Amino acid sequence: MKAAILHEPKKISVQDVAVPQISEFEVLVRIRVSGVCGTDVRIFNGEKTKGVRPDSIIGHEMVGVVEQVGSQVAGFAKGDRVGIMPVIPCLKCHYCLNGRENACANRKAIGYEFDGGFAEYVKIPQIALEAGNLVKLPDHVPFEQAVVAEPLACCINGHRKANVRMNDTVVVIGGGPIGLMHVQLAKISGARKVILSEPVEHRLERALTAGADIVVNPLRQSLHDVIMQETNGLGADVVIMAIGVPSIVQECIGLLRKGGTINLFAGFPKGVKCEIDPNVIHYQEVQVTGTTALTRNDYLTALSLIATGKINTEVLTTPGYTLDRIEEAILDVKTGKGMKSIIHM
C-alpha cells in the first residue's frame, strides 16, 4: 500500500509499505478520505511531539470501508462504511471516571502511538474497538462530509467549555475550518450575533456563508471597536480563540464583558509564554477555559449534526488532494491558501 511516512520534522515521503496484518481481535479499514488538521501542521513542523514516532504514519481525521474483520470481532463486516475516533481513552483513570475521557491520563491515539490515516489502509487496534472508537457511518453521508466529524467533535467539546448560550454575542478569532465550525455551532446554540476575525480575505467570505453576522479583517479594522459598537460598550459574552497565537491572548480577554468566557481552543507552540493581566480576570470575573481533543459522545453528536444537514461542510474543506500531494496539502493548511485539505485515497 501507499503511505505517507513522517521521518522527522519537515520530512515526509510517500512510500510503498506492507498492508498492516490484523489479529483476530482487530479490524483493517481501507481509507477513502483523510483530512489535514492544524495539528498535523504542528506535527510536521516539529512543534507537537507527544506520541509522535519517527518514521510513522500520522493523520487522525479518517473515514473508510472495512476491508477485513478479525474472527473475534463482532458488529462489523467487510464493506461497512466507518468513521474512526482517533483518541482512545483507557476508561479507568481518574479523568475517564469523572467525565473527562478526552483528557485521559493514559490515552493513546491513532495517528500518534498507532499508525494513522495518511495511508491506504489503517489497522484498528483491539483497545480502540473495545472502547467503541470505530463507528458505522449513515449511508447517505458522503465520505468527504463524514471526515469532518472528528474536528467538529473537538469543536463541540470546546463549545461546551465556552458555555455559549441563547442571545450571546460570540467572537471567533480565526476563520479557518475550526473557526467556521465554531461559527456554525454558535448559531445552532442560539447566539444572537457571531463576529469573526480573520485577515485572509477568502476566509471572510466563507465565514459569511457559514453564518457569521459580522466579519472583521483585523489588519484593516479595530476588532475591539467593532465589538464595543455591536454590544453597546459591554463586550462579548464569549471569545473563542481558534488560532494558537500567544501574543494576542490578553487582547482577546479584553474583548469580553464582565463575567464573559474565553476559550483557548487552538493548540499553542510548546514552551511559548504569554502575559495575562490577572486583575482583568479578577475584577472582571472573566473565565478562562481550555479544550483538548474530544469524547466519543462528541463524535457521535458531530456525525448526527452532519447527517441532518445542520453543518455546512463545504465551506470547511478544500477537496481534490491525493496522497502523493501530502506535503502540499499540509503546507496549504499552514499558509491558509485553502481550508481543510481533503485527501482522496
Q: pLDDT, tens digit, for every residue of 232-288?
A: 999 999 999 999 999 999 999 999 999 999 999 998 888 889 999 999 999 999 999
Integer Cα distance of 51 and 43 in angstroms: 10
Integer Cα distance of 261 and 162 in angstroms: 6
* Amino acid at the residue 6: L
Q: Write phi, then psi, for 272 (nearest 5 degrees).
A: -85, 130
| pLDDT value of residue 132 | 96
Q: Digits of tens for pLDDT over the chain (345 positions)?
A: 999 999 999 999 999 999 999 999 999 999 999 999 999 999 999 988 888 999 999 999 999 999 999 999 999 999 999 999 999 999 999 999 999 999 999 999 999 999 999 999 999 999 999 999 999 999 999 999 999 999 999 999 999 999 999 999 999 999 999 999 999 999 999 999 999 999 999 999 999 999 999 999 999 999 999 999 999 999 999 999 999 999 999 999 999 999 999 999 998 888 889 999 999 999 999 999 999 999 999 999 999 999 999 999 999 999 999 999 999 999 999 999 999 999 999
At 130 the three-state DSSP class reads helix
| pLDDT value of residue 342 | 98
Of 199, 193, 144, nearest to 164 by C-alpha is 193
Q: Are residues 94 and 173 in the same domain?
A: no
Count the domains in the chain. Answer: 2
CATH number at residue 93: 3.90.180.10
Note whether 71 and 24 are within 8 A (CB).
yes
| pLDDT value of residue 315 | 97
| pLDDT value of residue 48 | 86
CATH number at residue 271: 3.40.50.720
Instruction: Note down the domain range covering 96.
Output: 2-148+313-344
Is residue 305 included in any domain, yes or no? no
Q: Are residues 53 and 161 in the same domain?
A: no
Is residue 34 included in any domain, yes or no? yes
Is residue 306 included in any domain, yes or no? no
Q: Write phi, then psi, for 20 (nearest 5 degrees).
A: -55, 140
| pLDDT value of residue 157 | 97
Predicted TM-score (pTM) of the model is: 0.96
Is residue 16 included in any domain, yes or no? yes
DSSP string, 269-321: -TT------HHHHHHHT-EEEE--S--HHHHHHHHHHHHTT-S--GGGEEEEE
Integer Cα distance of 324 and 309 in angstroms: 32
CB burial string 106-130: b at 16+ within 10 A, e below = ebbbbbbbbbbbbbbbbbbbbbbbe
Q: Are residues 275 and 213 in the same domain?
A: yes
Note whether 33 and 343 are within 8 A (CB).
yes
Integer Cα distance of 300 and 138 in angstroms: 11
